[in-house]
A and B are shown apart, each in its own frame.
Chain A
């Protein structure tokens, strides 16, 4: 029996798909924000004078870049809470908290944001670090000669030109992060791909369902890209030679 195309069925499922699309967009935005914070913070620690901090960041980056995202998100969602339970017992035992609380037991959606942020952040650290290294040494020296401390020089003098130098790479990295949200359904985080699978299992219209979410992903990704470009135009709009 030949497959009958029927986009009418999709039309009925549209409210669900749109809502799930917003879930995906939310994951992408929140994950990207967290990734930027981790990226910038990671670079500061990675190039700090504290050897343990440098070592910690390098290990984190290597760990994230050499393991699959699916394993990472499973680990955070299923494995860490077991550690959290032990920790809660310990803290309560020591009288530091009133009753045992598992701080590492968090819902699927926040877990997905954290996993995406950590994953994207590890890649962002390497990218942003490249940008920082592209800033001439003379900029650091001029800041120091003006009596500014290293952290102030980084924040006010180095960071903006560094980000400007690498924001196209950063943009691609965040496009990748946006598309990676489709894996978050694996821990039952509310997002587009898992919702599509659920709808398909109900109406048996794989072509229509996956065609529609392909369009959705494209639009979301495009939107994220525009958001980044608009931000870049605003933030990096100083003239260079």
Chain B
């Protein structure tokens, strides 16, 4: 643990262990993410990337270690879980928009229910973020009427409507047709420019080069390597990282 940082990290994971029954999905995860930092998390399928970010907002409970988000230590109590979740936006691979609500209703749900905003204020907030992801003109439509790329941008806007301190992305472009990947990545790049703290699980290495402060490589539930993108791509230290990068770059 470095003692030189002045401010407390936005996200702190300390000795985190996660089990699914008898299966150990995360082993001794130690991670610090400072306010405004952008982390790209990559690794082979099944290495525990989703599990790691889902532990941060307690979609998965951990069995050992400690997670602190914006000063709140995650326990199993509703109070700490609520506080952490309300400060962390999450974007899923499959969008997970609510099919029976319009785009606008998807976005206003959390502000109305968790922050007690009045309808007018929630609408205004939603419209602001829908404009920011350039999809305001679709506000009255239902998710099924939008393309995959549009849906994912709505999902980003929906998370932003919580005005979170941190954004967690779990392979946000993996379910998209290739021609729609760019519009979503562009939205995320812009968000990064605005100074959002982000953890992004992705295999989009171009995105990693462009916005990541650090790239983390995971394998078998462990963090294998953690470097700024230049080092990570040019001089990976570990054999498994080299092998993984070789496979990824061959695909793209």
Do A157 and B162 have beta carbons less than 8 Å apart?
no
Contact partners of B82 in chain A: CB under 8 A: 147
Do A145 and B59 have beta carbons less than 8 Å apart?
yes
Are A148 and B142 also in contact (CB < 8 A) when A138-B96, A142-B96 are? no
Q: Of A118-126, A207-215, A233-241, which stretch is located at the interface?
A: A233-241
Is A152 located at the chain interface by the 8 A CB criterion? yes
Interface of A is mostly: helix
**B78, B92, B100: the one within 8 Å of A142 (CB):** B92
**Number of A-B contacts defined by CB within 8 Å:** 65
Q: Give the docked Cα–Cα distance between A138 and B99 (Å).
A: 12
Contact partners of A157 in chain B: CB under 8 A: 98
Interface 1/0 per residue, B211-229 and A, CB below 8 Å: 0000000000000000000
Task: Supply 10 A–B pairs (Cβ within 8 Å), ascending by A.
Answer: A141-B96, A142-B98, A144-B57, A144-B85, A145-B59, A146-B113, A147-B85, A157-B98, A160-B100, A238-B100
Contact partners of A145 in chain B: CB under 8 A: 57, 59, 85, 88-90, 159
Interface residues of B in 129-169 (CB under 8 A from A): 142, 144-145, 158-159, 162
| CB nearest to A157 among chain B residues | B98
Interface of B is mostly: mixed
Chain A residues with CB under 8 Å of chain B are: 136, 138-139, 141-142, 144-149, 152, 156-157, 160-161, 164, 236, 238-241
A144, chain B: closest CB distance, angstroms = 6
Is B34 located at the chain interface by the 8 A CB criterion? no
**A144, A147, A149, A161: the one within 8 Å of B99 (CB):** A161
Pick from A142, A148, A157 the residue with the most CB of B within 10 Å.
A142
Do B99 and A240 have beta carbons less than 8 Å apart?
yes
Contact partners of B158 in chain A: CB under 8 A: 146
Interface 1/0 per residue, B50-65 and A, CB below 8 Å: 0000000101000000
Q: Give the docked Cα–Cα distance between A210 and B219 (Å).
A: 75
| CB nearest to B114 among chain A residues | A147
Q: Give the docked Cα–Cα distance between A56 and B96 (Å).
A: 33
Do A147 and B162 have beta carbons less than 8 Å apart?
yes
| CB nearest to B87 among chain A residues | A147
Is B126 located at the chain interface by the 8 A CB criterion? no
Do A141 and B162 have beta carbons less than 8 Å apart?
no
Contacts A146-B114, A161-B100 known; list 8 others, CB within 8 Å. Answer: A142-B90, A142-B97, A145-B90, A146-B162, A148-B113, A156-B113, A238-B144, A240-B99
Interface residues of B in 70-107 (CB under 8 A from A): 78, 82, 85-86, 88-90, 92, 94, 96-101
B24, chain A: closest CB distance, angstroms = 22
| CB nearest to B86 among chain A residues | A147
Q: Give the docked Cα–Cα distance between A152 and B144 (Å).
A: 23
Contact partners of B57 in chain A: CB under 8 A: 144-145
Is B109 located at the chain interface by the 8 A CB criterion? yes
Pick from B82, B85, B100, B144 the residue with the most CB of A within 10 Å.
B100
Interface residues of B in 105-137 (CB under 8 A from A): 109-110, 113-114
Do B94 and A138 have beta carbons less than 8 Å apart?
yes
| CB nearest to A144 among chain B residues | B59
Do A146 and B110 have beta carbons less than 8 Å apart?
yes
Q: Give the docked Cα–Cα distance between A149 and B81 (Å).
A: 10
Contact partners of B100 in chain A: CB under 8 A: 160-161, 164, 236, 238
The 3 closest A-B pairs by CB, nearest first: A142-B96, A146-B110, A145-B90
Q: Give the docked Cα–Cα distance between A241 and B89 (Å).
A: 26
Contact partners of A146 in chain B: CB under 8 A: 85, 109-110, 113-114, 158-159, 162
Contact partners of B109 in chain A: CB under 8 A: 146, 148, 156
**A138, A139, A148, A241: the one within 8 Å of B110 (CB):** A148
B180, chain A: closest CB distance, angstroms = 16
Do B144 and A239 have beta carbons less than 8 Å apart?
yes
Contact partners of B90 in chain A: CB under 8 A: 142, 145
Contact partners of A238 in chain B: CB under 8 A: 99-101, 142, 144
Contact partners of B92 in chain A: CB under 8 A: 138, 141-142
Interface 1/0 per residue, B23-60 and A, CB below 8 Å: 00000000000000000000000000000000001010
| CB nearest to B94 among chain A residues | A138
Contact partners of A161 in chain B: CB under 8 A: 99-100
Q: Give the docked Cα–Cα distance between A156 and B98 (Å).
A: 10
Pick from B88, B98, B162 the residue with the most CB of A within 10 Å.
B98
